[in-house]
Structure 1
Amino acid sequence: MSSVDEIKIDLPPLSFEKSPETQDERIKREAIEELIAKYPENRIPIEELRKQALSELGLVNDDLRRVLWPQLAGVDVNSLERVPTLAELQSHPEYNQVVLDVNRSLKRFPPGIPYEQRIALQDQLTVLILRVIQKYPNLRYYQGYHDVAVTFLLVAGEEVAYAIMEELSTTHFSECMQETMEATQRRLMFIWPVVHFEQPELFQFLQRSTVGTLFALPWYLTWFGHSLNSYKAVVRLYDYFLASPMYTPIFVTAAILLYRSQAILSEDCDMASVHCLLSKLPDDLPFEDLLRTSSKLYDKYSLTVIEKKVEELIKLEQEQRQLEERRRRYPRSTSAKPDYTLSRWVLKKLTTKSVMMTTAVSIVVGICAYYYKNQYLAAGIS
């Protein structure tokens, strides 16, 4: 099974099912509406706005998100740029790839909308994406970027969605839009220190399985927008991420792994089984609880400490590979008694002091295979 086959899942249509407003939702909606009325031009103090977005139920509904998401993203809706036509952007090198991805994103649009409206939304999505990468030539489009953009388009409309995506592309998603996926690969490794600190048994199981972090790649690249089947869950997460530091998706990922620890530990300890389990998010995840856990984890562990642990792992992995290379070059005599002292030392370091055993090279290969092979698949090359 290739890395592409493992991660490329045919998702069901995104559910836009609406349920009656609960009493808690009504109470919070009214509280937010009072804040909007209190401050002219929707200039709610940013800390108060973040508090509302982070706390249970988030911003409640899309009417409020349409007003408040731009402020959370740092966008001035009074100074929006002119929207170019699609024809003006057709010469961009990424045009064909973006169109292919947008055409494949039908499941992310509300069901039952008129054909003409859907086509118009797809054209708007294409223009939105191309505008960003044309304005910032140093940013590279990646598959999954359209999953983020379509969410903002559906909530905020074309002009505001572009302004939000422009801001996020130069901040939260800037690592994902580099020439290579190396920075993203390294960032995903930050999952393991948190899991290791919280549940060493789970960490060791996941490392023995050699599952790597490929299962979490679409979560990170799309703020879970590609992997969830509920629109309500997607926009709730976007409330949270817009109000949070840029690496918060890493901590949400760790929170999900910790929450699912019993199911994970009950699985066969091999890459295929564990990847299959992790790559499919259950529909009934208690996201409000998970977001609270994520916030606690973020406050508990500094990025500096986590990065130091990742550096330790990379160094240990390099030492292990060098040791293995020397053994291949200079095989021992079959009559010689093997000396496992160094091996035991490396294993001890990996299991007690490191934060991750997944080989960096294997992750790079997996992610690059996913990234580049998907480009070929999208172009019809098998």
Structure 2
Amino acid sequence: MDASDEAALREKATNHNDGSVATDKMKDILEACRWRDLDALRVLAESPGGFLKDSIRQKAWPVLLGLPSAEDGNEPYTAQDDGSWKELPRHRDEDQVQLDVNRAFIYYPHHQNEAELEQQKAELSALIVEVLRRYPYLCYFQGYHDICQVLMLVLPTPLRAPAVARLSALRIRDFMLPSLAPAIAQLRLIPDILRAADPALWRHLSSTEPFFALSGTLTMYAHDITTLGEIARLFDVLLAREPVFSVYMFAAIVRGRRAELFDTPRDEPEMLHSILSKLPRPLDLDALIADTRALLDAYPPERLRGARGSPSSSSWRHTISPASVLKTARDPRACAAQSMDDGRAFFDRQVRELQWLERRDQAIALLRRYRRPAARTLGLAVLVAVLAIALRRSPPGGPTGPLGYLSTLLTRWFR
């Protein structure tokens, strides 16, 4: 889709308040689903109202997630809907799954009796456990049930598990690793975005760590938005856009609260964190989506600069792994074409990187024990031995490359 076609579709989709125009928009969405036109679906998802209603989402979300359909001549995932997963080995995190499921469905859906609520909890538990047993390398995280809850309530039963599986392995994989470090690395982009888009606000928040965004980004905002209509509408765009869009969205939320934040002294980081850790109410989703799109268009992650003022020092270059979903799914079309085997390969690479980083940190800790001049010779010999082992085991193309880490360590040694 070229720029003129996108502009025309965006203008058409934006003017949908009139009933006839809304009908035209629904036709456009279904036509885009038929042809698996992800560019058109992205534009339609970003326009006011998104995909408008759940019956349309049931067509659009599977396409965005890359699920095969009967129209493609492929066998849909219904072949797995046979209960065979129940015979698979128990996943290590199932006890935590049940604890979280017991707290699900607090805000929606409404008007359900106790029996209906228990049935929905049983279905949610089965959905999560099925995905974890079929893909046991994935690690459950608290808040995952919030995401699965949305997909369960919108999608028909045969599509739920395959949709959740592809979302898990290909779009939120960073959160399903053995460590939260990759999730924290995503948050480090927020100061870089603010530095580029709003230097005054960036300076004001310089003493506040971006952990305030963890709940929102980790759960695709499903933990913080309390109505099904709003979160389903937000999922329209989060599934249509690349995963980094979610990080930019929180940066846009921060910018939208700049007046309130400037009223709070910069030397009170706890108060600033408290303000930022809660989403503003009311939340104008359509305006937020438009602001996020503009922010990402103006300051794409590849052009962000870090604390030293250069792209090479940015969090995108320095802390985001090449195997992170932020990079492997940078193009939603490429992500939709990836397989579950691709997701497993990226997962394994990230695990190896995390293991290497752990060995690097151990080497740094060891180095600090030999900082006195009399011990430098021995310390340097130990460091070289440790690094030799680490480099042999390191994944190719780590966050900054093994030689970059070696250089950093030696610089610290001789400092």
TM-score w.r.t. structure 1 length? 0.70
Q: Where do residues 170-319 of structure 1 align in structure 2 (5 Å cutoff)? A: 170-208=169-207, 211-269=208-266, 270-306=268-304, 308-311=312-315
The CA distance in 2 between the partners of 1:298 and 1:164, in whole Å, is 26
C-alpha RMSD over aligned residues: 3.1
Distance 1:312 1:32, change over 3 A: closer
Does residue 2 of structure 2 align to residue 33 of structure 1? no
SS at match of 1:160: helix
C-alpha distance 137-120 of structure 1, shift in aligned 2 (>3 A): same
Which residue identity is paired with 1:29? A
The alpha-carbon deviation at position 285 of structure 1 amounts to: 2.2
Per-residue deviation, 1:87: 5.3
In structure 2, do the counterparts of structure 1 residues 56 and 262 end up closer, same or farther at CA, with 3 Å as the change threshold? same
Query: Equivalents in 1 of 2:171, 2:133: separation in Å?
Result: 18
Superposition deviation, residue 55 in structure 1: 1.5
- Counterpart in 2 of 1:137? 136
Kept after mapping to 1: 8 A contact 2:26/2:51: no
Which residue type is aligned with residue 34 of structure 1? Answer: K
Unpaired segments ≥5 residues, structure 2: 1-14, 71-75, 305-310, 320-360, 373-415
Relative to structure 1, the CA distance from residue 28 to residue 168 in structure 2 (aligned partners, 3 Å threshold; closer, same or farther) is: farther
Q: Following the alignment from structure 2 to structure 1, what is the Cα–Cα distance between the partners of residues 48 and 104?
A: 30
Residues in 1 aligned to 2:18 and 2:234: alpha-carbon distance in whole angstroms: 16
246-255 vs 156-165, greater mean Cα deviation: 156-165
Shift of the alpha carbon at 1:146?
A: 0.6
Percent same amino acid among aligned pairs?
25
1:115 aligns with 2:105: no
Q: Number of residue pairs matched?
A: 298
Structure 1: any 5+ residue segments left out of the alignment?
A: 1-21, 330-382
Q: Larger relative contact order (C-alpha < 8 A, sep ≥ 6)?
A: 1
Q: 2:64 matched to 1:72?
A: yes
Shift of 1:157: 2.8
Tell me: CA distance 1:35–1:213, structure 2 relative to 1, closer, same or farther (3 Å): same
TM-score normalised per structure 2: 0.65
Name 1:53's counterpart in structure 2.
45
Against the structure 1 CA distance between its residues 191 and 25, is the aligned structure 2 distance closer, same or farther, given a 3 Å change threshold? farther
Other structure's SS at 2:43 match: helix
- What's the CA shift string for 1:256-284, capped at 9, x where partnerless? 11111111111233122111111121221
Structure 1 residues 149-180: Cα deviation after superposition (integer angstroms, max 9, x where no partner): 00010011332121111111111101111110
Measured in 2, the distance between the counterparts of 1:312 and 1:173 equals 17
Q: 1:167 to 1:302 in 2, by over 3 A?
A: same
Contact 2:152 2:160 in 1 (8 A): yes
Q: Whole-Å Cα distance in 2 between the matches of residues 276 and 135 of structure 1?
A: 39
One-letter amino acid of the counterpart of residue 66, structure 1: Q
The CA deviation string for residues 302-354 of structure 1, in whole angstroms up to 9 with x for no partner, is: 32233734359989xx9xxx9xx9xxx9xxxxxxxxxxxxxxxxxxxxxxxxx
SS of the counterpart of 1:277?
helix
The letter of the residue matching 1:30 is: T
2: distance between equivalents of 1:312 and 1:127? 37
The structure-2 alpha-carbon separation of the partners of 1:298 and 1:309, relative to structure 1 and needing over 3 Å to count, comes to farther
Distance of 1:243 and 1:314 partners within structure 2: 27
In the other structure, the counterpart of 2:308 is none
Range that drifts further, 285-294 or 297-306: 297-306
Which residue identity does 2:176 align to in structure 1?
A: M
Instruction: Give the equivalent residue in structure 2 for 1:11.
Output: none
Moved more, 170-179 or 76-85: 76-85
Counterparts of 1:28 and 1:150, CA distance in 2: 31
